[in-house]
Copies of this chain bind each other. A is one copy, B any other.
Amino acid sequence: MAFQGNGEHPEDLDVDFVHTGPDTLAGRYIRLFWQPVYVSGELKPGTAKPIRLMSEDFTLYRGEGGTAHLVASRCAHRGTQLSSGWVEDDCIRCFYHGWKYDGTGQCVEQPAEEEGFARKVSIRAYPVREYLGLLFAYLGEGEPPPLPRYAELEADGLLEIDTYTRGCNFFTSLENTPDEVHVAFVHRSSAFTEHGLNFDLPTISAEETDYGFVQYGTRSNGKARVTHFYMPNSRYIKGSPDSVGEGWIDFVSFRVPVDDFSFKSFNVKLKHAARNGQQVTNLGDDSEEVQRIAEMILRGECHVDDFKDHPRVVNIQDSVSQIGQGVIPERMRERLGRSDVGVILLRRIWARELRALAAAGPLKAWSHPEDLVATSGV
């Protein structure tokens, strides 16, 4: 796709891909795909957690036997938040009057009510799978599709999981993926420079594929970094190692809206190693500190370069550039150029699919090949 930057490119901006509540077009679309909802190791047996995804609340719990379940936020009786109750066996009991639900959402006990009432009552439940150290759920209507497999993360080695929540709309983060030029500026004071990713500005190109799109960032030496975007909201890169000398890592991130003003990124990195099988480790979540620092920078109290040596410098830098576009950017004012071809393609695909969904026309059936490889381009 050739693009002579003329600075105007609003053709796909009539479609709303930023609002993802249950009744929105983008919300209906993203719910047609399995989404990571929690880090497996953070949900202990016998506990329940309230979670919010795409402007909707849910109750996530793990039965005493270890099986995870996702059900509606509230008890059918008086609307009490179920996560405040008790997990018993494979069920959750409401804190207010003890109504008990199993993992399918069926009410199985109502201590103070007549026999026969419970079986008439159920709450919504959602399929859950554990994979790659994450809990995935299907939040859409009807039968779920098969859970996608990510062969690139199934090799032997150390699987590192981390998450962060960032205070801006998820789509701003999606757009940042095929925007490889930003690395030379946003991350110029980071390990990316040390690893050679910033030695010159890449020329960007992108093509739609069976799974989303592939993007090439070609350097002046002819080498291209190859990044894959998986529709609708994840990407696979060859990520930079934590320190010089370590090997490049396979790195998939899922950007899941929490609401329209923030998203949670579930990040899975495979560090290859000659061992049998995988070890999974959870690096945690330090979003609160990162968000606090980004807000200080955006208020002008300090500069991002003051945090060069912070262990989360890359996250701070991305937070500043993404939140700095506005929590929901005003895209109609943009002036796009040739380096934005990936951003333009991303919007074109999303807009096409949302228009098809609105018209009840056929949606593209994305498929995920097993032999996908990302490269670093240095």
Residues of A within 8 A of B (CB): 4-7, 47-51, 74, 76-81, 83-84, 93-98, 110-114, 117, 120-121, 179, 181-182, 184-186, 201, 204, 297-300, 303-304, 320-321, 324-326, 329-331, 333-340
Choice from B77, B112, B300, B325 contacting A80 with Cβ under 8 Å? B325
Interface of A, helix, strand, loop or mixed by DSSP:
loop
Residues A4 and B94 in contact, CB atoms below 8 Å apart:
no
Report the Cα distance A265→B164, complex, angstroms. Answer: 39
Residues A121 and B201 in contact, CB atoms below 8 Å apart:
no
Q: Which residues of B contact A120 (CB under 8 A)?
A: 6-7
Whether A79 contacts B329 in the complex (CB less than 8 A), given A50-B299, A201-B112, A298-B84, comes out as: yes
Q: Which residues of B contact A78 (CB under 8 A)?
A: 325, 329, 334, 336, 340
CB-nearest residue of chain B to A121: B335
Whether A113 contacts B304 in the complex (CB less than 8 A), given A80-B321, A321-B84, comes out as: no
Choice from B181, B325, B330 contacting A112 with Cβ under 8 Å? B181
Choice from B47, B76, B179, B331 contacting A335 with Cβ under 8 Å? B76
CB-nearest residue of chain B to A60: B300
Residues A117 and B76 in contact, CB atoms below 8 Å apart:
no
Q: Which residues of B contact A185 (CB under 8 A)?
A: 93-98, 111
Choice from B47, B80, B304 contacting A95 with Cβ under 8 Å? B304
Nearest-Cβ distance from residue A219 to partner chain B, whole angstroms:
12
In the assembly, how many copies of this chain are there?
3
Whether A337 contacts B110 in the complex (CB less than 8 A), given A84-B324, A300-B83, A325-B78, comes out as: yes
Report the Cα distance A77→B111, complex, angstroms. Answer: 61
Whether A95 contacts B337 in the complex (CB less than 8 A), given A79-B329, A299-B50, comes out as: no
Residues B80 and A324 in contact, CB atoms below 8 Å apart:
yes
Residues A79 and B333 in contact, CB atoms below 8 Å apart:
yes
Enumerate 19 A-B pairs (CB-CB under 8 Å) in ascending A order.
A5-B110, A51-B300, A74-B325, A74-B333, A79-B329, A81-B298, A83-B298, A84-B303, A84-B320, A84-B321, A94-B185, A95-B320, A96-B321, A97-B185, A98-B184, A98-B185, A113-B338, A114-B337, A121-B335
Residues A321 and B95 in contact, CB atoms below 8 Å apart:
yes
Report the Cα distance A110→B181, complex, angstroms. Answer: 11
Report the Cα distance A62→B79, complex, angstroms. Answer: 43
Q: Given A80-B324, A96-B324, A96-B325, list of 12 further CB < 8 A pairs?
A: A50-B300, A77-B336, A78-B325, A78-B329, A81-B298, A84-B297, A95-B324, A96-B185, A98-B184, A112-B204, A112-B338, A121-B335
Residues B114 and A338 in contact, CB atoms below 8 Å apart:
yes
Choice from B5, B97, B112, B182 contacting A117 with Cβ under 8 Å? B5
Nearest-Cβ distance from residue A50 to partner chain B, whole angstroms:
5
CB-nearest residue of chain B to A3: B114
